[in-house]
């Protein structure tokens, strides 16, 4: 029979994809709204995984108007659930891994196994996650763990879901988020241009994210971009020169991130000649 391309399955209208199950795996609550809110609203069967709690430290909590990190994390979670309800995603379809913000690279093997188990249990057909591009250490860790989870599924004789990435790169101001991929990687990019109705729906979703107001107001509204990932070597930095997150004192340096990634690859895929090659070749 006629097999629709992965792009057609993801981006066709909901009427054509009632059977496509999509899981959106993001580093922080609200990443999925900013990067893929319109897409999520078009999908019929979607689950969302938040890897971290999105509450970095007391300074960030105070700047958002909260007296402690825990209440800031809870507010981010509740805001997200309210926003996702506009896209018909109910609370029971949202999974919190509750890793502390900025520390996702410290638990890569565990994160990989949790994602693999979730994808297997949910019968996911398509996954949307972050690209590996040095924008935020938690974004890169989420990309690593999602790619590694698909590799684990394959090694266990399971058919892994098709993988897409959403464009969501931090702007140089540390506040805005841009619907762009780092230049350099080739490949088909699908751009969703939001019409008036979609723009209004996304605006309503974004208005729910009150604690993220500064970031939302600094970020453009109107496009969402997706692509299938290029081949990544997670044992090497995603780009030459200083990574975006290395500009900030709260983030790990690339050397720390890289050593954790290499150790995780060896822990997860001990028999591979070079674990990173094995991941590359399999996907």
Tens place of pLDDT per residue across the chain (283 aa): 334 567 777 776 545 455 789 999 999 999 999 999 999 999 989 999 999 988 877 777 777 788 888 888 889 999 999 999 999 999 999 999 999 999 999 999 999 999 999 999 999 999 999 999 999 999 999 999 999 999 999 999 999 999 999 999 988 877 889 999 988 766 789 999 999 999 999 999 999 999 888 889 999 888 999 999 999 999 999 998 899 999 988 899 999 999 999 999 999 999 765 544 545 544 5
The percent helix, strand, coil of the chain (3-state, each to 5) is 45, 15, 40
What is the rounded CA–CA span in Å between residue 132 and residue 76? Answer: 24
241 HSE (CA, 13 A, CB side)? 3
* pLDDT given at position 109: 98
What is the rounded CA–CA span in Å between residue 205 and residue 197? Answer: 13
Q: Is the pTM of this model over 0.75?
A: yes
* pLDDT given at position 66: 81
Q: Name the strands in the sheet holding 126-129, side by side, starting at the edge strand that comes first in the sequence.
A: 94-99, 45-52, 21-26, 126-129, 162-166, 223-227, 189-193
Give the containing element (helix H, strand E) for 209.
Answer: none
DSSP string, 67-106: SSHHHHHHHHHHHHHHHHHHTT--GGGEEEEEEPTT-GGG
């Amino acid at each position: 029979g006629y097999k629709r391309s992965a792009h057609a399955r993801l981006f066709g209208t909901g009427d054509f994809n009632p059977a496509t199950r999509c899981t959106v795996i993001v580093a922080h609550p609200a990443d999925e709204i900013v990067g893929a809110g319109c897409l999520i609203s078009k999908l019929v069967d979607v689950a969302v995984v938040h890897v971290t709690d999105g509450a970095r430290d007391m300074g960030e909590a105070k700047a958002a108007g909260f007296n402690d990190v825990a209440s800031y994390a809870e507010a981010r979670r509740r805001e997200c659930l309210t926003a996702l309800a506009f896209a018909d995603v109910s609370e029971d379809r949202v999974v919190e891994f509750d890793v502390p913000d900025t520390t996702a690279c410290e638990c890569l093997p565990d994160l990989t196994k949790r994602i693999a188990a979730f994808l297997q249990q949910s019968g996911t057909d398509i996954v949307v996650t972050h690209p590996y591009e040095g924008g935020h250490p938690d974004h890169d860790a989420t990309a690593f763990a999602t790619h590694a989870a698909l590799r684990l599924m394959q090694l266990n004789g399971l058919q892994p879901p098709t993988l897409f990435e959403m464009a969501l790169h931090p702007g140089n101001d540390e506040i805005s988020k841009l619907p762009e991929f780092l230049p350099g990687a080739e490949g088909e990019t699908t751009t969703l241009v939001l019409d008036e109705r979609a723009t209004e729906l996304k605006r309503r979703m974004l208005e729910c994210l009150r604690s993220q107001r500064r970031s939302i107001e600094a970020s453009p509204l109107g496009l969402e971009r997706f692509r299938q990932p290029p081949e990544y070597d997670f044992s090497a930095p995603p780009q030459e020169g200083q990574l975006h997150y290395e500009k900030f004192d709260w983030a790990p340096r690339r050397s720390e991130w890289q050593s954790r990634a290499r150790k995780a690859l060896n822990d997860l895929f001990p028999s591979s000649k070079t674990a990173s090659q094995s991941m590359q070749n399999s996907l």
